[in-house]
Amino acid sequence: MRLWGVLAVVGALLAVCGCGPGRHLPSPYRVGLAQPGPPIHVAGVERGVANGVDWPNACMLLSDDELRAVLPQIDHVDRLPNDKTVNVWVSNGGNPLAASYETVVANADCQYQVTFKFDDNGGGRGDGSYLGTVAVDDLVVGSPDTVELNWNHDLDKSAGQVSDIAGLPCQGTAGDNSLACKSGSFYYGVGVTLDSQYGKDADKPVVRLDVAGKIQEFPRTGSLATAEENDAVRTAIVTKFAETLNAKLR
């Protein structure tokens, strides 16, 4: 799928150590519930790919309130939009994947850089704060058959698993921290990365999650998340952002 490389780079940058000998275990990232806001309208087309100006601004797809509903410890949100060149498979007679349409789309990718503020001062970046990123990526806006072509192409390539989230299909791959979902004329990706956390042992970074009162802890190698952590983040957090977006797209 197409969002994964961006998240790998972001994840490698999110490594901090505000710790010392005898540090207690850091507070976990607490996971809340999806609380979708107003509906999103994505203008489709009857055939092919929508004009770039009709693609949604990825930085407008999630509100601060929707971000905090899923991750309640978020203190501040910075939206970092990116223009990108998208390559979309389009139908070409008897061979539907024979032609690729390329266009530049403004604000089709957004890094929602979030600052978490925990109660245990001194952790994270020295003031009890940690960083994370919620990445949202417009993959295809076009006719339903064009969306379907690209969805199936990515699914074949990734060998991912399909699940129903808020009434819409999403695909994810084991060991990955992202999902890709489709709704009629819109196909998008969403993923999450989190700062490393440090407890008593400064040489052993972890990520700790609080999911419905159950604490899960995942050791890291340097700043890199394990496949087990990615699976947990995708299941506990990314799914809730997909639920938020899908509920607004239906």
pLDDT in tens, 6-39: 554 455 445 444 444 445 678 899 999 999 999 9
Our CA angle for 32, 35, 40, nearest 5°, is: 140
Interatomic CA distance for residues 250 and 239, integer angstroms = 16
What range defines the domain where residue 162 resides?
Answer: 4-249
What Cα–Cα distance (Å) separates residue 12 from each residue in 5, 9, 112, 158, 205?
Answer: 11, 5, 16, 22, 13
Q: What total of structural domains would you count in the chain? A: 1
pLDDT, tens digit, for every residue of 166-223?
Answer: 999 999 999 999 999 999 999 999 999 999 998 666 678 999 999 999 999 999 988 8
